[in-house]
Amino acid sequence: MKRLIYLFAILITGIAHSQEINIIPKPVEVKAGKGDFILSEKTSILLYNDSNKQSADFFNDYLEKYYGIQLRIVANAKENFILLNNINENRTTEHPEGYQLKVNKNSVDITGQSEAGTFRGVQTLIQLLPVNQQPENGNQQLKIPFVTITDYPRFPYRGMHLDVSRHFFPVDYIKKYIDFLALHKMNYFHWHLTDDQGWRIEIKKYPKLTEIGAWRDGTIIGKYPGTGNDGIRYGGYYTQEQIKAIVKYAADRYITIVPEIDMPGHDMAALAAYPQLGTRPDSVYKVAQTWGIFGKFNNVLSPTEYAIHFMEDVLNEVMQLFPSKYIHIGGDEVSKIWWHNSTFCLQLMKEKGMKDEHELQSYFIQRIEKFVNSKGRTIIGWDEILEGGLAPNAVVMSWRGEKGGIAAAKQNHNVIMTPDNPLYFNRSQLQKDDSLTAGGYNPIENVYTYDPVSKELNTAQAKYILGAQGNLWTEYITNPRKVEYMIFPRISALSEVVWSKKEDRNWNDFKKRMACQFKRYDLWKINYCKNSY
């Protein structure tokens, strides 16, 4: 009788229905079976060796946080185990982030093409867990439906960007942001670390960059040009020790951080600290308190030997902190007027036979590229680096629409697509938003239906499109909850754009799967935009 009551109790309180299969981004192939694997405290994670320990830890942390369960990691198991395994790293494979996931009665088996592939497979497993169950002192049983999934990404670059200059976000939140990327199978975090409004990375050789450049004496109130200035000192920066910890945190999630040091424009914070970098070294430069670049307002670096070597020193420390093959050096929105009015610049242009300031910008970028290449790294620059001639090995990040990216691909340069429409997530996702957002309307459906490979490219040129990225500029995003409000749910749409096969994308099917994803957001306690479609 006791047993019967117990069974009955399980039936009514317990494990209800197993999760419908609603994976985002949509996998390449899903074959559903009949029945469920039961995950409970008795389940173990089987690792044959030390590889995939990060995946096991990530999964365990997730279970602990959302279901109150911790699994043992074992080297041998006969039943009720989750095997995390990968094919030999040395085997060359077309899809290193691919994986196969099989769920049957006895086991869940995730085999990645590499460790990264296993990790991506764990994200799928997470989405097979029930979304309605609350932690109940670890006594739970989680049903995982029988299924066989074969999966790999469409693009090798799947990114999200975050501007920490306009507003600063603490270390713990950067980690949380990286987790959001991981949960969406993204593999690049573009960290916009410097800009006019604040320098956010400690550089040992030039301490004033953060002593002075990380702080502004006020911020405009409201939308540009603002209704006044709050007069409140604002700032912050990441120490090199903090950055090392964040780089490791990302690497444990098979995410590469691409640091951006913006030059030769967007450098008022650097100029405030080291005025000798500017075209008017005797000026008093100030860390910017307003938004935008607005013509004469924001001075830029002068392309002197001093400034070039200064930035090389900065990049030298940056490259020691960030193992990324790609180093972003900005290159956007350089107010050429300062160079046009500088005797030094006019003289330099004459000496080098340059016909305009665009060529001078190319000269600056190419000098920096040479240095970065000499360390075995590759530069990424915003699409302005096309003007005046592309640096030989540069990757172009297309933001003023797609035309820069298309032009670069036609010149056989790698490209990352991040067109402001629809991939600037600082723009509103509602026709009418209660909170302040940057101009423009980028609804989720436009994100979902975006294709990074323009029809203007032929098959050979299309190969230069490495992928795409969502950008989050933070002029009007002052706190973590607003970050979430702006990126969710568009990040889920973007993840499918960059991961799933083009022919498998379907807006109505996506919306159906999103119903489940919204419950997952609730489980994660995300402040997402609730009525975005």
Residues of this chain that bind ligand ACM (CB under 6 A)? 332-333, 382, 399
The nearer residue to ligand ACM, 382 or 425, going by C-beta atoms, is 382
* Residue of 161, 184, 266, 328 marked active site: 266
Between CA 331 and CA 404 the distance in angstroms is 13
Instruction: Give me the amino acid identity at 177.
Output: Y
Angle at which helices 357-374 and 343-352 cross, to 10°: 80
The nearer residue to ligand ACM, 328 or 377, going by C-beta atoms, is 328
* Residue of 151, 195, 260, 402 marked active site: 195
Whole-number minimum distance, CB 510 to ligand ACM, in Å? Answer: 27
Neighbours of 74 (CB within 10 A): 11
Residues in the chain: 533
Give the residue closest to ligand ACM by C-beta.
332
Between CA 367 and CA 421 the distance in angstroms is 31
Structure tokens at 503: 């022919």
Q: Is 258 exposed, middle or buried (0-12, 13-18, 19+ CB in 10 A)?
A: buried
The nearer residue to ligand ACM, 27 or 330, going by C-beta atoms, is 330
The nearer residue to ligand ACM, 67 or 399, going by C-beta atoms, is 399
Question: Is-catalytic flag, 195?
Answer: yes
Instruction: Give me the amino acid identity at 420.
Output: D
Question: Is-catalytic flag, 192?
Answer: no
The nearer residue to ligand ACM, 102 or 328, going by C-beta atoms, is 328
Whole-number minimum distance, CB 332 to ligand ACM, in Å? Answer: 4
* Residue of 109, 333, 383, 402 marked active site: 333
Listing DSSP states for 264-290 in one string gives: SSS-HHHHHH-GGGBSSTTS------S
List C-alpha distances in Å: 486 to 39, 243, 426, 473: 34, 25, 6, 10
Beta strands in 132-269 (DSSP E): 142-151, 157-163, 188-192, 194-195, 198-199, 215-216, 234-235, 256-263
Angle at which helices 490-499 and 507-524 cross, to 10°: 130
Question: Is-catalytic flag, 333?
Answer: yes
Closest CA relative to residue 273, chosen from 221, 200, 222: 200
The nearer residue to ligand ACM, 138 or 440, going by C-beta atoms, is 440
Residues catalogued as catalytic: 195, 266, 333
